Structure 1
Amino acid sequence: MRTWRRTGSGSDVRICSNLESYECQLLASMVESITELLNERADSAPSDELSAITGIATGHTRAPEDATLGRLLPDFHRPDQEDNLTAAPVVSDLNGGLRSVNEPPIIDEKLAAAQTVLQTLPPDGGDIRLTEAEADRWLAALTDVRLALGAMLGIDDQPMRLPPDHPQAAHRDVYDWLSVVQGLLVEALMADEWTQSDWETGE
């Protein structure tokens, strides 16, 4: 993969790069897997009469049992985040209510981000030209793919290195590659802000 670069100005700004065919196929496969997980979660949400009447979608009240979905759709509150929510039932009820209302639109946003990636990926490799809005959705989708891989690899806040012969070494390499792709995309999106900041400070 080549680095991301920012071209144009105003409404004509594009965030550009070039991906090899195998990179596009790998990324598409991972994004499609995330899409399947999220669609299954949305489709399995319990029916709600009030939702049918009001048209306001409601979702699950319980966190996913699947570790990957648990990373993608975490609880809103944990007992260690709020000193005044020390009782586990209180936290559980709060999470259930928040999840029921907020999970459907969160899933919709994640699916929209995934769809943007799939629509803008050249199937056989080649140039990519994204609007800033599309680039933002790429960032969101890349985050979800990295979270899913991180769940599978057991990655937490501590850095982890795997020996080359480890059965998950290839997956770790993909995780690191995605981290680079995402980091370079962030830099390209922020390039104009940095230029403006340098101009204002005279640097």
Structure 2
Amino acid sequence: MSPFTRRGGDLTASFERAEADILAQLATDVQALLSDADGVDPDSPSFRAINRLLPAAYRDGGENDAEFHRFTSEGLIERKARNAQAVVDVFAAGDESGKAVRVRLDAAAAQSWLRCLTDIRLTIAAGLGIEHDDDELRIDGPDRSVLEVYAWVGYVQESLLHALEAHVV
């Protein structure tokens, strides 16, 4: 991936085809997870991810939280799914020749991307058991490659943020 840069009002970057496919798949995975949010087994790793994506409003997890969830979760799920679809759509419109995929985002799309990248990282972190910054240091074995994807998505997000901030200054 080449870092995001600002060109006029748009932000642009270039992704290798494999990177584009990975990011589109991760966004699709978030959509799938959200679509099954109510039916997730509480003992599954997906349940931890849902709890990160749709956190409790109250610490007690009681009646107030259930009420809050009842009134807000549907809209939140829809917004998160739309943000993920914005990532999928950009790559679906890209060149299928196997070469780099050029991405151009306007301000609204950039915000959708930032939110989706956050959701992807929250989902991966839940699966890896990352709760605090230093938790990454203890991950080894087969989860190491997943941690590398987590770090790469963080790089994509950071690159996009830097490009957005360059306009503000």
- The corresponding residue for 1:197 is none
Matched length: 159
- The corresponding residue for 1:2 is 2
- The corresponding residue for 2:76 is 106
Does residue 118 of structure 1 match 2:95?
A: no
Runs of 4+ in 1 over 6 A off after TM superposition: none
- The corresponding residue for 1:191 is 166
Q: Distance in 1 between matches of 2:159 and 2:15?
A: 13
Q: Distance in 2 between matches of 1:98 and 1:64?
A: 21
- The corresponding residue for 1:161 is 137
Does residue 22 of structure 1 match 2:3?
A: no
Residue 75 of structure 1 aligns with an amino acid whose one-letter code is A
Q: Give TM-score, length-normalised by structure 2.
A: 0.87
Q: Normalized per residue, which structure has more helix?
A: 2
Deviation of 1:26 after TM superposition, in Å, equals 0.7
Q: Which runs of 5+ in 2 are unaligned?
A: none
Q: Per the alignment, in what secondary structure is the counterpart of residue 158 of structure 2?
A: helix
- The corresponding residue for 1:137 is 112
Asked whether the equivalents of residues 72 and 144 of structure 1 are also in contact (C-alpha less than 8 Å), the reply is: yes
- The corresponding residue for 1:72 is 53
Q: Distance in 1 between matches of 2:89 and 2:22?
A: 15
- The alignment-based identity, stated in percent, is 28
Q: How does 1:31-110 map to 2 (within 5 A)?
A: 31-41=27-37, 65=42, 66-79=47-60, 92-110=62-80
Q: How does 1:168-187 map to 2 (within 5 A)?
A: 168-187=143-162
Where relative contact order (Cα < 8 A, 6+ residues apart) is larger, the structure is 2
User: Rg bigger for which structure?
Assistant: 1
Q: Per the alignment, in what secondary structure is the counterpart of residue 12 of structure 2?
A: strand
Q: Per the alignment, in what secondary structure is the counterpart of residue 6 of structure 1?
A: strand
Q: Distance in 2 between matches of 1:158 and 1:130?
A: 30
Deviation of 1:74 after TM superposition, in Å, equals 1.0
Q: Give TM-score, length-normalised by structure 1.
A: 0.73
Q: Distance in 1 between matches of 2:143 and 2:21?
A: 20
Q: Distance in 1 between matches of 2:146 and 2:24?
A: 15
Asked whether the equivalents of residues 162 and 169 of structure 1 are also in contact (C-alpha less than 8 Å), the reply is: no
Q: Per the alignment, in what secondary structure is the counterpart of residue 29 of structure 1?
A: helix
